[in-house]
């Protein structure tokens, strides 16, 4: 809906800005790759947690999506999304909510990687999680327990296939390194599917994805669907490993200069870790962006200026370590934009996106939600 204030300078800061032109460009970039790779897309909505963003990603009508919380599943199903993967290992205590959603017409699928989980789901459709890179959970693709789990699920009509996530692709940089992870991801999931089929079990779904591997994969033979999430926004972590440029980052935090400490080389702003998040995801990358990269009010990067410190409601802006030169003249009241390290974490600090329309019209307000 249109905001009461139709200009960025009238927003109360800190505020979460979303550039619709960049959002659209990012969505179309991955959609083109999915078409070229001949797989379906199941976008992950954990970053956005917004019905408006979801509709933009799925072309204006509900389609298949991935979620990371049951709160997301409930909210998206209420908005008409019926084909949902809950991509976090299922706990028995959550099955009542899962079944309630399914009884309301939601085709909700869960994931698991143990015999106990397989026995507990009792007919709820499930994918078996495969460990393709040692990042998190899942079974090795040649683990014999995979077939045992498959048999339990199949006996209850609940075996839907396998899934994996190449989360370790975030730790390497460049398209060649990401391409290697993409192939590792594909090979592991396809091998697991073949193991199930060799045991006489169905495996209709072979699902994989991460934002780096989704953009680097060249061959997805044997894969049925691709998942990715932060690609719609991008962030400094993704820019730092070569998946995007800073100009592709659609999300930023609008902030206002509230003071100076000239002797320390500091500019103080009203966006601390409550607005930016405490994520330091670029700290181990080639370029450490502190708590965020500083742009002017139009979104143009100010060279060598980063948020070097963050308290609850105060951000400290200074030159990045090793940089030389004078601090820019930014009087109290000046508005700036901060590009986030981790879009998911920064967005989670806010209840609304202030959307900058591509056509230059008034700002829009798109609600977002949280919780579990």
Please answer whether residues 71 and 369 qualify as being in contact, where contact means their C-beta atoms are separated by less than 8 angstroms: yes
Instruction: Give me the CATH code for the 250-367 domain, please.
Output: 2.40.37.20
Task: Report pTM.
Answer: 0.95
Please answer whether residues 195 and 146 qualify as being in contact, where contact means their C-beta atoms are separated by less than 8 angstroms: yes
Torsion of CA 121, 123, 125, 130, to 10 degrees: 50
What's the CA angle centered on 81, arms 79 and 83, to 5 degrees? Answer: 165
Question: Which CATH fold topology does 39-232 show?
Answer: TIM Barrel (3.20.20)
Judged by DSSP in three states, 186 sits in: helix
Q: Which residues pair with residue 208 across a beta bridge?
A: 226
Sheet containing 83-89: which strands, arranged edge to edge? 40-41, 225-226, 205-208, 159-164, 126-130, 107-112, 83-89, 65-67
Please answer whether residues 34 and 226 qualify as being in contact, where contact means their C-beta atoms are separated by less than 8 angstroms: yes
List of residues 6+ apart from 150 with CB closer than 8 A: 128, 159, 196, 199, 201, 203
Task: Output the tens digit of pLDDT for each of the chain's 372 residues.
Answer: 565 556 899 999 999 999 999 999 999 999 999 999 999 999 999 999 999 999 999 999 999 999 999 999 999 999 999 999 999 999 999 999 999 999 999 999 999 999 999 999 999 999 999 999 988 899 999 999 999 999 999 999 999 999 999 989 999 999 999 999 999 999 999 999 999 999 999 999 999 999 999 999 999 999 999 999 999 999 999 999 999 999 999 999 999 999 999 999 999 999 999 999 999 999 999 999 999 999 999 999 999 999 999 999 999 999 999 998 889 999 999 999 999 999 999 999 999 999 999 988 899 999 999 999
Please answer whether residues 334 and 34 qualify as being in contact, where contact means their C-beta atoms are separated by less than 8 angstroms: no
Beta strands in 140-272 (DSSP E): 159-164, 205-208, 225-226, 251-261, 266-269
Domains 39-232 and 250-367 share a fold: no
The DSSP letter of residue 158 is -
pLDDT of residue 196: 98
Look at residues 120, 94, 117, 119 and name the one whose alpha carbon lies nearest to residue 108.
94
What is the full DSSP assignment across 255-285?
EEEEEEEGGGTEEEES--HHHH-S--TTTTS
Distance of CA 364 to the CA centre of its chain: 22
Look at residues 228, 227, 253, 232 and name the one whose alpha carbon lies nearest to residue 244.
232
How is the chain split into domains, by residue range?
39-232, 250-367
Tokens of 162: 């396998």
What's the CA angle centered on 292, arms 319 and 334, to 5 degrees? Answer: 70
The DSSP letter of residue 24 is H
Beta strands in the chain (DSSP E): 15-19, 40-41, 65-67, 83-89, 107-112, 126-130, 159-164, 205-208, 225-226, 251-261, 266-269, 293-296, 301-310, 315-319, 335-339, 352-356, 364-367
Q: Could you give the angle at which helices 70-78 and 95-103 cross, rounded to 10 degrees?
A: 10
Q: Which residues pair with residue 293 across a beta bridge?
A: 306, 339
List of residues 6+ apart from 152 with CB closer than 8 A: 115, 118, 119
Beta strands in 73-215 (DSSP E): 83-89, 107-112, 126-130, 159-164, 205-208
pLDDT of residue 325: 87
């Amino acid at each position: 809906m249109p905001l009461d204030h139709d200009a960025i300078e009238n927003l109360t800061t800190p505020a979460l800005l979303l550039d619709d032109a960049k959002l659209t460009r990012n969505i179309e970039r991955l959609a083109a790759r999915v078409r070229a790779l001949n797989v379906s897309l199941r976008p992950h909505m954990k970053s956005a947690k917004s019905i408006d963003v979801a509709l933009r990603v799925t072309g204006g009508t509900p389609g298949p999506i991935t979620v990371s919380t049951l709160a997301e599943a409930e909210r998206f199903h209420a908005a008409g999304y019926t084909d949902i993967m809950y991509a976090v290992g299922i706990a028995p205590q959550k099955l009542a909510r899962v079944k309630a959603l399914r009884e309301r017409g939601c085709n909700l699928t869960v994931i698991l990687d143990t015999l106990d989980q397989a026995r507990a789901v009792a007919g709820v459709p499930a994918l078996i999680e495969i460990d393709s890179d040692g990042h998190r959970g899942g079974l090795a693709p040649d683990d014999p327990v995979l077939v045992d789990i498959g048999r339990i699920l199949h006996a209850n009509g609940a075996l839907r296939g396998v899934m994996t996530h190449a989360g370790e692709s975030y730790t390497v940089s460049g398209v060649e390194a990401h391409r290697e992870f993409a192939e590792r991801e594909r090979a592991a999931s396809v091998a697991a599917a073949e193991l199930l089929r060799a045991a006489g079990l169905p495996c209709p779904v072979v699902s994989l994805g991460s934002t780096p591997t989704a953009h680097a994969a060249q061959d997805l033979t044997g894969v049925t669907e691709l998942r990715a999430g932060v690609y719609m926004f991008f962030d400094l972590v993704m820019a730092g490993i070569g998946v995007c440029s800073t100009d592709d980052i659609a999300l930023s935090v609008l902030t206002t200069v509230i003071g100076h400490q000239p002797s320390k080389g500091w500019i103080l702003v009203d966006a601390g870790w409550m607005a930016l998040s405490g994520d330091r995801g670029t700290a181990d990358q080639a370029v450490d962006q502190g708590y965020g990269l500083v742009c002017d009010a139009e979104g143009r990067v100010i060279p060598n200026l980063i948020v070097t410190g963050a308290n609850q409601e105060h951000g400290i802006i200074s030159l990045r370590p090793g940089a030389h030169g004078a601090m820019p003249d930014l009087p109290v009241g000046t508005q700036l934009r901060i590009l986030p390290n981790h879009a998911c974490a920064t967005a989670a600090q806010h209840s609304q996106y202030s959307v900058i329309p591509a056509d230059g019209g008034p700002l829009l307000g798109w609600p977002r939600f949280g919780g579990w």
